[in-house]
Structure 1
C-alpha cells in the first residue's frame, strides 16, 4: 500500500487517477479547491482536503495532515493546472501571474512542504504538456500555459540532480491531447484520441514503477497533435 498525494482531483485526469489508486487499495490524499466530486464518490482510503496550492496556509494544512496521519509520502502527482487561452497581446500580467502561480509556484510550494516526508524510493511525477517541450508544435493563445509547463520540465530535471543521492526520484510526463475539460477550453470542439480515464491508467502505472527505470526524465506521452 502506497501513500499518494494527487493535486487537481476535482475533474479530468486527477479525478480518474484518484479512483485508480483507490481501486488498487492505496491511501490517497486528494487535493483540490472543489472537494465535492471526489467526496461524493465515498471511496475507501481516500482523504479529501480543500487546497488551493497557491496559498501557503493551505499547503501547510497538507504537511500537517501528512505529519499527523501518514508520516511519509510515497508518490506525489503534481497534476493541478490552470489554462488561459488568449492572444498574447490580450494577456494581462495578472493573467500570466495567475497561470504561473498555479502551474509553477504551486508545485514549488507543495514540494517544499512534502519532500521532507519522501524517502529515497519515493516518486514525484510532474504533469506537463507537449506544448511545453522544446521543439514541439506550439499553439497561439497558450503562451502563458505552455511556457509555465516548460518551466516544470526544467524544474524536474534540476530536482532530480539535486536529490539524486537521497531521493526521491523526479520525472515529468508531457501529455498530448486528452479529452478533458481543459482541452475543451483550449481547443473547443476538438476530439482527442484518449480519454481522461485512459491517460489516468497510464499515469497510475508510471507512478508506481517509473522511478525504477527513470529519474530526471521527460517522457512524451502523445500519439497525436496537439
Structure 2
C-alpha cells in the first residue's frame, strides 16, 4: 500500500482527494488546520492531523507520524492554499507574508522535511494556479496569490533538477477554475465548469502515474478563463 500525504483537506479538492485515496486502499495522512471534516468521515487507512502549515512546530507532527508509522512517503500533494483578494494598493506586507507562508514557504519546508522519506519513484505534486503561469491572463486583486503560485512553479522546476539522481519526481498542476470555496472568494458568483470532485479525480490519477511521464513540468489543467 502506498503512503499518501495531502495538505488542505478540510474542504474542496483536498477533501475529495483524501476520500478517493482512502476508497482505493491507500494509506492517507490528511493535513489541515481543521481536522474535523475528515475525522467525521471515519475513512479507512486515514489519519487526519490538525496542522498549521505556517507553524514550524506543527510540521514536526508530520515527520513524527511518518517516522513512527510509515518510514517512507510515496506521494506528497501540496494542495493547501491561501487567497487574499484586494486591490494592490490595499495589500499590506503582512497580507503578502500570510499568503506566501502557506502557498510558498510551507510547501518548501514540508517538502524539505519529507525528503528523507521520499524514495525512488516518489512523486511530489504541487497544486498551483493558471494565475501563476507566465503569460497567462491575470486578474486584479490577486497580486499576492498569483505571484505566490508562480513562485512554487519555479521551486518545483528547481527541485526536479536537484533530486533527479534520487529519482524523486516533482511536478506542478496549474489549475483553472474549479468550483470551490476559494474560487467563490476570488470570483464571487462565477460558476466553474469543473467540480472539486472531478478535479480531485484528475489529480488522483496524475499523482499515481504522472511521474512515469513527467518531471519538473508545469501542466496547465484549464478549459476556461478564469
User: What interval of TM-score do these two structures reach, taking the shorter chain for normalisation?
Assistant: over 0.9
Supply the distance in 1 between the matched residues of 2:178 and 2:167 (Cα, whole angstroms). 30
Contact 1:78 1:125 (C-alpha < 8 Å) held by counterparts: yes
The equivalent of 1:70 in structure 2 is 70
2:3 equivalent in structure 1: 3
TM-score between both structures, scaled by the size of structure 2: 0.99
* 2:44 equivalent in structure 1: 44
Runs of 4+ displaced beyond 3 Å: none
The aligned counterpart of 2:89 is 89
For the residue of structure 2 that corresponds to 1:122, the secondary structure is strand
Deviations 1:133-165 (A, max 9, x none): 000000000000000000000000000000000
1:45-94 superposed Cα distances (whole Å, 9 cap, x missing partner): 00011101111111111001100100000000000000000000000110
- Contact persistence 1:179–1:193 (CA under 8 A): yes
- Compute the displacement of 1:167 (Å): 2.6
1:178 corresponding residue in structure 2: 178
Partner of 2:119: 119
Partner of 1:218: 218
Q: Deviations over 1:4-58 (max 9, x none)?
A: 0000000000000001101100000000000110000000000011101111111
Shift of 1:102: 0.6
Please give the root-mean-square deviation of Cα atoms over the aligned residues, in Å: 0.5
Deviation at 1:173, TM superposition (A): 0.3
Cα distance in structure 1, aligned partners of 2:192 and 2:29: 29
Q: Aligned residue for 1:199?
A: 199
Q: Is the 8 A contact 1:118 1:167 kept in 2?
A: no
SS at match of 1:194: coil
Unaligned runs of 5+ in 2: none
Q: Distance in 1 between matches of 2:83 and 2:105?
A: 15
Where 2:21 maps in the other structure, the secondary structure is: helix
The count of corresponding residues between Structure 1 and Structure 2 is 226
Q: TM-score, normalised by structure 1?
A: 0.99
How far apart in 1 are the matches of 2:131 and 2:108?
A: 20
Q: Please state how far the C-alpha of 1:115 moved relative to its aligned partner.
A: 1.0
SS of the residue 2:192 aligns to: coil
Distance in structure 2 (CA, Å) of the matches to 1:90 and 1:56:
28
How far, CA to CA, are the matches of 1:154 and 1:112 in structure 2? 15
Structure 1: how far apart are the matches of 2:203 and 2:110? 19
Q: Which of 130-139 and 107-116 deviates more?
A: 107-116
